[in-house]
Structure 1
């Protein structure tokens, strides 16, 4: 009997599928060719596997034919009351898509599709963070003579750079199969977004959570701006030039007066890893209720005051022999002479931040260059003058020997030489320790007092911590880390000395510097921003930004606001404006997760999310950090399409990239490399082979049914 019509494989189609018999061999005379189409062999159009070079092409064809671009709109039109909202944390629009993006975006897509298959409508609006230093620095690095650009030229360059980066990243996210309405994304430089950010700023200001103050902040000399602690990275191998120095005793503490008879000089012995801060010294601090000794150097006859617990270790470091003359538990009412500035007095003051782990137990205190130092100065009403400018150079106030010298380079050397010339230097040595760096410029930070805008996290963090305890956090261990980070954060510096961003909407009295911001001024500024964007702050005359009765005596200052975490006010829908899930990397525990919580709690006393999902970082397959110098950087585009040499970098396709995410334990560090990708490809081939075999069995069954009906 002849097989049913259409049951035999069509001529010209691919037959070499796993599970199918090979074509019948033609005999030498070709007499068996007439029987070829009568053999009932099962056939499937689904290939068990594709050659690597065909995989990317097949995926693109599938995306087009199956309407991947319409999937998000289709599921939004379904009639269901169940809705799942995943709020997309905006990546920086400052470069090409990388494997960290792939982990994050694909993991979000798997989550969204899971809820969609359970019958939910998914709300997911992709976004990009387009403002701030990451974009501005990258944009300016492409321009010769960038230091001569006007603020508006810088803003234009930065915007153009961000727009190009967004298009690159968006194309990659689409190629990875991420389901979204890609024609409707949010960008932080959109006028409506900027206006909403200013509304949140004013709500927090009106409630007393935002204030202006002069205090030490983390300062990046390489970027010439203040930074928040979350914008730092720590170099564990930083080398400082530490010094042991003498502060000559002017007034002996009463409990040591009988020991120091005045016949030989006495000094407080102080250690610091930042000699450049010595010109700003205003005090020497000691630990209250701790034992301090006065010792005599057996070689020189000099007397030194230092902590009793540090006598032996300090003597060994200085290669001296100390004879302990007396020990007491209080240095109250003592004072010293500044080691390099004649006439300046440095009082001995108690302070709880002093430790005995290193040094001498006596701490050099420069209020302009340390947070704890500033607290001591505030309590005792000491000067907090800063002698360092925005670029990290000593100012004229530091004196002619130091003026215009870089504090981390020749300025540091100059101070050490001054200590040497004054006879105050006992020893200098290299000291390797952890030190904060600007994570964008990769250059060392300093602490520098300046006038900035802050969020008073001390007054909001208790509520934030209580609110956070009601949020589901996956994995649960992450919630403790976030609570600890919140507890350590006493203030949040939100002003930056840059021009690419949303301006702080405050006017300043020309003569006194007094601030003007109220509901009327902010309403007017927000209206202008909604219509023209924040460029208006730089382009419009002040009389168009401020009412006529005020503008003649007020001026603008070009500071930008870094109030990350206000996207909930723009993206989330409904009266609650609350997402079901935020899903980001563990670095956001001190970043976007935390800033979103703080802004939402300060503005409306609730979290913007119900669940936090925290994933790990991507590493090389041996567990090492990815580095171009090591040669282990994995480019997701190369993973999909292959590299120049396909024997070295074969094209795996997006399915392998997605499988890698799906099978990984994302709550730890996620490894990727050739071995991992080959394993993922083998797994996919097994799945495809199994599906192809199922198709073959179905074809056999259909052929049997057709045959029996004849």
Structure 2
């Protein structure tokens, strides 16, 4: 009997005996949990076997060939070209991909999982960015569904906005078209883009009810959006004002911060201009040398000089009056900028006087280009000393900080720039009609030269905002617009964000920074294609009529008829008597409807209200989008939800990178590095563009580190195909060896299995836990790494190489073979389910060939990996891993040689390790024991010491193995010795092992199997 030393709670030692089971069965049951310090795995034997496939046919002799149970399966090793494409589409049809989402929504489930789909823009064909995003979401959704959760996932599209309007109209422009005509063309364009994108998403295997999607141009959606608008307006968070906004002359509309792209290589004509001090600040007027001083300012936007209303200084900074050494001109500048300005002018600057900025209060300058106009010196905290002179030219109409100064000091905010980006009549006859960014800029610089106010001009390369769609520079100009007061929402939004999990965590700071940058959000657009802002204006006073009664009525009309009714219905229907009465307004004929539409970021930012409100928590478990949405949808959704509900609309955020070329470049048609997902799947005209199918595209997404830029190109796709091909090879081996096996009838209880089979179930359980954890962390790349390591190390190099003799040559119904097949079926099932979220087509294809289920059943309706806690058997690891340690010593003694040609003698002093090895081999010598199978040797001799008559030519080796049980309570380091000698046995004609008595007869095992068959 085997004995195991263990401690009782009182600390005394007791003996626990293990019941030994038969050599072929027998479960090793050790007392207590294990905390093993050994993580040894056996390596390949060098016997010419690759990934579970026999290098030889295994029959040895034609006479016995038919008695060898080689793998058989109809599962194809390879699928390429049109066969692959046809098979994927066939799988989608046969396995009910289209109905899977509806099926899982109808089943009862204790837990739910909600992934809210950020709407892709309906303005073009599907691209690899879509593939990265949609497949990443689908992998998680399929995993959660397999785990038994009810998945809530409604795909959506962002359908409004200028880009769609421009593409729909093409060369027509808007001239002569009514808003309804423009909207009709834009709708048709958007619907075409949606149809193309939706078809692609379905082809990629994305699970959803594609007949129940959400669209921001749908009346029901628009009504939900107006409800959010109304609630924010009633709280005073939405207001109308005349203030500077980012304005795109190329688009003819206001833009929000999220619609800007900053061009870091924009070149501006920067100038140093002088503003003569006509009234000295009272606190420095008495100082000597203060006469004829000019304030020196620096700006990269000379065209804004005519709109100047003040010059700002930093109250706490030091300022100096300096005199040029070459012509005695005197300037007021920040003290710390003096050296830089002297270098710029190429002359020394002598300091006349230095003082704190606060002493500049009360100073007044002469405007350089407008006669008789004077502007004050004013304190402001936005003044910096990084560039320029430390004194900032302030034009309230054309700068956000400038406007804040104007608000504080009641300065006029006069707009000199029209919507097309040209100077208007307020700028004067010399500038009127000139484009501010080009000839207008030139003219202002020329005017400054004429009045001797231009000190220096230089080129400045800096970051400048561009329209995200037209790629043209924007200007800042005041306009009467509708705004959201994000300043009052910021703190609540930050607080809500602290409760949100962000992956990767590094993206959190970017989210907070973007919130800080947005002081207000301009939500009105001067376009036709969008959700109308539900406001009416009094014909005479221009006063806005907007309240909960008017907005609620319009929302109901939109729900019933769609937002086209804003233009279609008469004003009397839009403003019926009962609404006017509640609003305490006059007649409908006194009003005109507003012409602005809502910013599309408000459209999509209100999606939680249209899509999630029906859910019990009304929050999504996760939002998953690209990093461009940090300042876009993530933020607009957060702000609207916090404003209305005081909570974030999501519990977690996953922020992924962009798809780029294999050189790390942004994809561009002009560069020719665009990867079309349709070409990836179906192949292209070029021979270098084979048809990879959808699963290769999905593997590429899963394998990538999605938290950084994701590279795609021929080598990445070819690598993905090769990885899937290797996986198919393994699955084919598993299926082939399960031919004729029905786990429902023939499975062996784990306690009766060979120890190595039990050990593989233990490893399979560890594998399933790792895979489940990785999927839960949105880390499909780790899933693939764990999968490939499991197949390479645990299966191909270890288990498959050891069990093939038992699989092929034992009797078909023997306990040993059925034990092995039971484990192979569990491995097949576990691997198949673990790859299913990533490779749904191949997983379902494997499932069609797999044993143990009804034919009409599909994998995705049958659940996640079914690992059992019973598979974790304490002490089992020590038995197998102890043997593996000995095997490592054995194989290292015969490098590159076939282990089957050698006899192995193992000597271990009495103790735990000997007892463990004795459980694998009862007899002192055996060719068929579990220990002999593990070693893959011809014969194994097990003894407590080396025999005296040992062959002097034997190869000797020594080692130790640490047994660690009961969490370290039982620790024993055991030494062992091995001796390796060439076997004297002959090679069996059937199994090809060196276990036969002579070259012309079978070994005893094969003789028994063949005689039973006859």
- TM-score, scaled relative to structure 1: 0.92
Q: CA deviation at 1:475?
A: 2.0
SS of 1:502's equivalent? coil
Query: Does residue 213 in structure 1 map to residue 245 in structure 2?
Result: no
CA distance in 2, matches of 1:391, 1:260: 50
Query: What is the alpha-carbon root mean square deviation over aligned residues?
Result: 2.4
Q: Secondary structure at the match of 1:699?
A: coil
Larger Rg: 2
1:260, 1:266 within 8 Å by CA — same for their partners in 2?
no
In the alignment, which residue of structure 1 is the partner of 2:659? 618
- Residue 19 of structure 1 deviates from its aligned partner by 5.2
Q: 1:385-419: CA deviations, max 9, x gaps?
A: 11111111111111111111111111111111111
Structure 2 SS opposite 1:254 = coil
1:49 Cα deviation after fit:
1.4
The answer to whether residue 262 in structure 2 is matched with residue 230 in structure 1 is: no
Quick check: 660-669 or 110-119, which moved more? 660-669
Map 1:272-351; keep pairs closer than 5 Å: 272-329=299-356, 330-351=359-380
Alignment of 1:586 onto 2:615:
no
| Greater Cα shift, 168-177 or 130-139 | 130-139
2: CA distance, partners of 1:120 / 1:261: 81
Distance 2:315 2:442 in 1: 33
Q: Does 1:678 align with 2:684?
A: no
> Structure 2: how far apart are the matches of 1:449 and 1:570?
33
Shift of 1:338: 0.6
**Distance across 2 between alignment mates of 1:394 and 1:37:** 94
Q: Partner residue of 2:509?
A: 480
User: Cα deviations across residues 568-594 of structure 1 (Å, max 9, x unaligned)?
Assistant: 111112353221111111221221111
Deviations 1:37-63 (A, max 9, x none): 999875322111123443222211221
Q: Give, in angstroms, the shift of residue 487 of structure 1.
A: 2.8
Q: Which residue does 2:230 correspond to in 1?
A: 202
Match of 2:640 in 1: 599
Match of 1:75 in 2: 104
Between stretches 297-306 and 526-535, larger displacement belongs to 297-306
Contact 1:249 1:268 in 2 (8 A): yes
Q: Distance in 2 between matches of 1:40 and 1:19?
A: 13
Inter-partner Cα distance in structure 2 for 1:51 and 1:116:
30
The CA distance in 1 between the partners of 2:672 and 2:56, in whole Å, is 44
The offset of 1:138, in angstroms, is 2.2
For 1:427-458, what per-residue CA distance to the aligned partner results, in whole angstroms no more than 9, with x for missing partners? 22211001111111111111111111111112
Task: Give the aligned partner of residue 410 of structure 1.
Answer: 439
Instruction: Tell me if structure 2 keeps the 8 A contact 1:579–1:608.
Output: yes
Aligned to 1:4: none
Find the aligned partners of 2:318 and 2:682 in 1 and give their Cα distance.
Answer: 68
Give the whole-Å Cα distance in 2 for the aligned partners of 1:254 and 1:209: 42
Instruction: Using the TM superposition, give the Cα deviation of residue 136 of structure 1 relative to its aligned residue in structure 2, in angstroms.
Output: 1.6
Q: 1:556 aligns with which of 593, 596, 601?
A: 593
Q: Partner residue of 2:835?
A: none
Per-residue deviation, 1:145: 4.0
1:502 maps to 2:542: no
Residue from 670, 680, 697 that aligns with 2:737: 697
SS where residue 431 of structure 2 aligns?
coil
- The CA deviation at 1:259 is 4.9
- Equivalent positions of 1:294-443 (< 5 A) are 294-329=321-356, 330-443=359-472
Displacement, 1:675?
1.4
User: Residue 596 of structure 1 aligns to a residue in which SS?
Assistant: helix
- Structure 2: distance between partners of 1:428 and 1:577: 57
Q: Which moved more, 1:38-47 or 1:674-683?
A: 38-47
In structure 2, the residue matched to 1:574 is 615
Preserved contact between residue 71 and residue 733 of structure 2 (Cα < 8 Å): no
**Unpaired stretches in structure 1, ≥5 consecutive residues:** 1-16, 24-31
Q: For 2:552, which of 523, 526, 534 is the aligned residue?
A: 523
Q: Is the alpha carbon distance of 1:385 and 1:52 closer, same or farther for their aligned partners in structure 2, counting shifts above 3 Å? A: same
What CA distance in whole angstroms lies between the structure 2 residues aligned with 1:484 and 1:297? 42
Tell me the distance in 2 between the aligned counterparts of 1:428 and 1:250. Answer: 24
Q: State the SS of the aligned residue for 2:360.
A: coil
Task: Please show how residues 10-25 of structure 1 align to structure 2 within 5 Å.
Answer: none
Q: Does 1:651 align with 2:685?
A: no
Deviation at 1:653, TM superposition (A): 1.0
Contact 1:250 1:337 in 2 (8 A): yes
Worse-superposed segment, 585-594 or 96-105: 585-594
TM-score (norm 2): 0.65
C-alpha separation between the residues in 1 aligned to 2:412 and 2:329? 31
Aligned with 1:176 (options 197, 204, 210): 204
Q: Which is further off, 524-533 or 651-660?
A: 524-533
Partners of 1:381 and 1:282 in 2: CA distance:
11
Matched, 1:634 2:675: yes
Which aligned runs of 4 or more in structure 1 are off by greater than 6 angstroms?
20-23, 36-41, 700-704, 706-710
Q: Is 344-353 or 249-258 further displaced after alignment?
A: 249-258
